[in-house]
Amino acid sequence: MSLRDDDLTRLSRCVELAREALDNGDEPFGSILVDADGRTLFEDRNRVKDGDHTRHPEFAIARWAVDNLSPAERAHTTVYTSGEHCPMCAAAHAWVGLGRIVYATSSAQLSGWLQEWDAPPPVAPLPITTVAPRVTVEGPAAEFAETMKALYEAKFRL
Ligand SMILES: [Zn+2]
């Protein structure tokens, strides 16, 4: 696992978006889509507070990419995200042919913390590579574990 400085900078932006989501009553997850030249094309955060619990940023990215990028362009993108994709988003990512994924915290980490707080998730915390075996995945980044745990705790600890 060797994340570069620019990977860490982009993950920091995802963590900022996660904090923004939490501050707005949503769940603390944020993601960005970066093209082959390193330009950020699109960013979003979790937006589930109005009742649609499929409004994850990684899913929004998959839909945005279909509307705005060719299949070849999609294949050369990187999706950065504060938390590893859930199975729904991992499937969407693979179905639309997006590229590498870099995440700050893993589903295994989140799952462990949720167990600690007696707050089990409704969907199995499968790794991306179980759902989408051909996607290149990097993470977690230890630098963000403490910050993300605090954001998750603020939302999910009952
Ligand atoms: Zn998801």
Segment 68-77, tens digit of pLDDT: 999 999 999 9
List the Cα angle 88/37/80 in 5-degree steps: 30
**Which residues have CB less than 5 Å away from ligand 1 (the ion)?**
56, 86, 88-89
Given the structure tokens 């839909």, which residue do they identify?
A: 63
- Report the separation in Å between the CA atom of 106 and the middle of ligand 1, taken as the mean of its atom positions: 12
Ligand 1: distance of its center to the CA of 156 in Å? Answer: 16
Q: Which domain holds residue 92?
A: 5-117+145-156
Residue 109 in domain: yes
| Nearest-angstrom CA–CA distance, 113 and 157 | 9
Residue ranges in the chain assigned as alpha helix (H): 5-23, 57-68, 71-75, 87-95, 107-116, 128-131, 145-156
Q: Is the pTM of this model over 0.75?
A: yes
* pLDDT at 28 exceeding the cut of 80: yes
- The string of pLDDT tens digits covering residues 82-125 is 999 999 999 999 999 999 999 999 999 999 999 999 999 999 99
- Report the DSSP beta bridge partners of residue 40: 34
**What's the domain count of the chain?**
1
The answer to whether residue 25 sits within a structural domain is: yes
- Whether 135 maps to a domain, the answer reads no
Q: Report how far ligand 1's centroid is from the alpha carbon of 84 (Å).
A: 8
Q: Is residue 139 part of a domain?
A: no
Whether residue 125 lies inside any domain: the answer is no
Domain annotation covers residue 137? no
Look up the CATH number of the domain holding residue 89. Answer: 3.40.140.10
- Comparing CA positions, the residue from 84, 85, 98 lying closest to residue 141 is 84
Q: What's the whole-number mean pLDDT along residues 118-133?
A: 96
Domain presence at residue 83: yes
